[in-house]
Chains A and B, each alone.
Chain A
């Protein structure tokens, strides 16, 4: 597609429920990233996928968080047993294979998750 697409744009869920957030990167971008941004804060790195390599999961805050990327394209971030502190905007970004160090990230518009 023309840009990075994220869905849903907004999600309100009850504490304890599982949620799935979706990211569709730019066609041809083999690198995909998930970041989280709490209100008024900077972006917190969560996970990074590059082609068929094992993902870099070093930023996932707990084992309730997981992500997968199917067919080297669409990615799903899953949060199990959501807690109120999970409320944030979840941003997905993609970049060309050579990494964001050359061309920068292209970000989606994010999913605003509210846990009540």
Chain B
């Protein structure tokens, strides 16, 4: 069964706006990762946050993790049309060696 679930399923914003996606999970984790997928093909690793971290930044990306609520959020600031993609969170269910993915949030950034 899927471990992480993203919310919303779809998000449409204007270029320059911020986009926030959320991920909820069910069991304890070591790490949580976010990936981007363009055109239904290979996924690109964006950022990894460990269970003892609360916030992490990478360029225009900001990820938060709240282990008490079993949730994470991905914020993309100053969005661009090129950010249009599906975004997935992945969690390891305390198994360091494999990750489980949610169904993703489809982001559309309108120019």
Tell which of A43-51, A63-71, A72-80 binds the partner.
Answer: A43-51
B111 within 8 A of partner (CB): no
- How far, in whole Å, are A106 and B43 apart by their CA atoms in the complex? 8
Instruction: Say whether B42 contacts A101, CB under 8 Å.
Output: no
Residues of A65-116 at the interface with B, using a CB-CB cut-off of 8 Å, are 89, 91, 93, 99-110
A110-B88 in contact given A43-B101, A104-B48 (Cβ < 8 Å): no
Please, which residues of chain B bring their CB within 8 A of the CB of A45? 98-100
Q: A110 vs B104: C-alpha distance in the bound complex, in angstroms?
A: 17
Within 8 A of A (CB), among B26-62: 30-31, 33, 35, 40-45, 48
CB within 8 A of A104: which of B2, B45, B97, B103? B45
Residues of B within 8 A of A21 (CB): none
Q: Which residue in chain B gives the minimum CB-CB distance to A95?
A: B97
Could you tell me the distance in whole angstroms from the C-beta of A104 to the nearest C-beta in chain B? Answer: 4
Using known A-B contacts A42-B88, A43-B88, determine if residue A101 contacts B45 with beta carbons closer than 8 Å.
no
Whether A105 contacts B104 in the complex (CB less than 8 A), given A42-B2, A43-B88, A110-B42, comes out as: no
Known interface pairs A42-B2, A42-B102; A101-B97 also in contact (CB < 8 Å): yes
Q: Measured between alpha carbons, how far is A109 from B38 in the docked complex, in Å?
A: 10
Q: Besides A42-B103, A100-B99, A101-B99, 16 other CB < 8 A contacts?
A: A37-B40, A40-B103, A42-B102, A56-B97, A91-B43, A100-B97, A101-B31, A101-B92, A101-B96, A101-B97, A102-B48, A104-B33, A104-B45, A106-B45, A109-B41, A110-B41
A residues at B contact (CB < 8 Å): 4, 31, 33, 35, 37, 39-43, 45, 48, 50, 56, 89, 91, 93, 99-110
Which residues does B use to contact A, with CB under 8 Å?
A: 2, 30-31, 33, 35, 40-45, 48, 88, 90, 92, 96-104
